[in-house]
Amino acid sequence: MTRTMQALAYARPSALESGAGGGLLGLETSGGLTPAGAQPHPAFFSGFLASPLAAARALLAVADVAAARYTDPTPRPLLDPVVTGNGDRLRFESFSGCCGVYARLDVLRDGLEGRETAHGTTNVDVNNPLREALSRMTGDSPLHLRVGPGEMAVTTLDGPVVEKKVPLPDRWLRGFAEAQVATAGFELRAELPGAEAVRFLRSLPRSFGRASRGTTWVVPARGALRPTTRPVAGAVCLPGPERLTALHRVLRHATALRVYGPSGTGSAPAPAAWEVMLPGMRLTLTLSPDTSRGFSGEGGVLEALSTPEAEQDAELISVLLAWEPVIDPAELADRSGLPVERVRAALVRLGTAGRVGYDVADAAYFHRELPYDARRAERHNPRLLSARELVASGAVTLGADGETAAVASGARVYRVGERGGRLWCTCAWWAEHQGGRGPCKHALAVRMVRRGATAADGDAGTRAAVPAARAAGADPVGGAR
């Protein structure tokens, strides 16, 4: 797995301090992007929380996911969540080490007692002493939240005193992008009231074992969820139910449980989002289709990345983003002069740089800024690089019937056709996944050629990217994908 190291420099450790009038939860920030540009220690919020104990437990749940690797129980370094201020809310996000669980806590305006936040994105220090202090919290005495340095700290800062170096696998960047693409097609599938939500979540296994292996399905029935072993009509996929364990942190505060997933019922495992409603907050865990399957390999971004106009469209749309908590593609289409379809493709591309996320509760994109380069996602997307090499080598021959094509790859020639608006291929990748994890490299190359890509275009796209990918350990042309 390709890794880079990110240095996070904090002015001091985050801490929970007790006082006569309540507590102070000071979350320290590092290296944030704001409307004014990059800031070493941006300040996003200072005010009281409406539900202190619930907020503390929910923040711990996000940290639990950041520290977890659900395919391997071996302890791992604690990684710091990302926080975004969108004016009317704070969003805390993390990804599990296995890239199969995406966690987000939205502290809404009501949870912030009506106060607004600044705009921007940064990491916040969640250290082990802070986790222990939050775990010991009892009652619901007033709690003041400060995200960023206080005024006194701002005037006395003469350099960072706390530095962390954390490994950031490149698959995490792809995971953020793929989770956004997957959830953008979700719809509300079930809703349970608080008491039933607690009963259901407590009935799930909390550790890996024989009972939790394989794919589980649940069926909404009279305000409850009933488990089933097969995807009957209306069933929602629950792969690896023990991956919802982090939600146990907030069960005593839960007012409802909402489940989101793809529309319809399929026989193949599918991702789903599990959202616990809290007073003034939402805590959401999005699960990949299988415990051994991270979001990073789903291939949902490939179509958008392969379009010739996607890069320029993304640059245009990026200047129109303004840290909105809800992005309206139709409004962006009006402002940019682009069709809505191209705006959505541009948002997907921006998502590969961590600049756009998707909120299933609002059914809308939102703006954030992670410290990633958009081209980095392309360099480590082997199917995209392989498709460009196939185009560059002239390996694609379109059939005279306009519906089929032949792709020479290595010593073999693969046939590619279209069925129901989706391309199919005779390669082993398609035989295994049936298009469920995005197009194979042969189908993607055919799609690019049909859009008008030429050998010169493909060569230009791979000339710099392929050597960089190989240097990083990726094999853009290996295998039959």
Task: Using the predicted structure, report yes or no on whether residue 372 has a pLDDT greater than 80.
Answer: no
pLDDT digits (tens, 9 = 90+) for 175-205: 888 888 889 989 999 999 999 999 999 999 8
Give the β-pairing of 412-419 and 422-425: antiparallel
Rounded to an integer, the average pLDDT of 452-468 is: 51
Task: Using the predicted structure, report yes or no on whether residue 468 has a pLDDT greater than 50.
Answer: no
The pLDDT value given to residue 82 = 92
pLDDT digits (tens, 9 = 90+) for 407-438: 999 889 999 998 777 789 999 988 888 877 88
Q: What angle do CA 269, 273, 278 make, to 5 degrees?
A: 155
Task: Using the predicted structure, report yes or no on whether residue 149 has a pLDDT greater than 60.
Answer: yes
pLDDT digits (tens, 9 = 90+) for 279-327: 999 999 999 988 888 786 667 778 777 777 888 899 899 999 989 999 9
Claim: this prediction has a pTM higher than 0.75: yes
What are the structure tokens assigned to 481, written together? 């994908």
Which residues, including other chains, have CB under 8 Å from residue 37's CB and lie 6 or more apart? none
Q: Kindly indicate the confidence band of residue 357, based on its pLDDT and cuts at 50, 70 and 90.
A: very high
Q: Kindly indicate the confidence band of residue 481, based on its pLDDT and cuts at 50, 70 and 90.
A: very low
Which residues, including other chains, have CB under 8 Å from residue 34's CB and lie 6 or more apart? 42, 118, 119, 120
Rounded to an integer, the average pLDDT of 257-268 is: 82
Task: Using the predicted structure, report yes or no on whether residue 364 has a pLDDT greater than 80.
Answer: yes
Rounded to an integer, the average pLDDT of 253-266 is: 88
Rounded to an integer, the average pLDDT of 396-402 is: 88
| Among 410, 428, 416, 394, CA closest to 475 | 410
Which residues, including other chains, have CB under 8 Å from residue 339's CB and lie 6 or more apart? 333
Residue of 194 and 451 predicted with greater confidence: 194
The pLDDT value given to residue 106 = 98
Q: What angle do CA 238, 92, 331 make, to 5 degrees?
A: 90
The pLDDT value given to residue 169 = 60
Per-residue DSSP letters for 313-365? Answer: HHHHHHTT----SSB-HHHHHHHH---HHHHHHHHHHHHTTT-EEEETTTTEE
State the Cα–Cα distance between residues 243 and 229, nearest whole angstrom.
18
Distance spanning both ends of the chain, measured CA to CA: 18
pLDDT digits (tens, 9 = 90+) for 8-46: 889 899 999 987 667 899 999 998 889 999 999 999 999
Q: Kindly indicate the confidence band of residue 164, based on its pLDDT and cuts at 50, 70 and 90.
A: confident
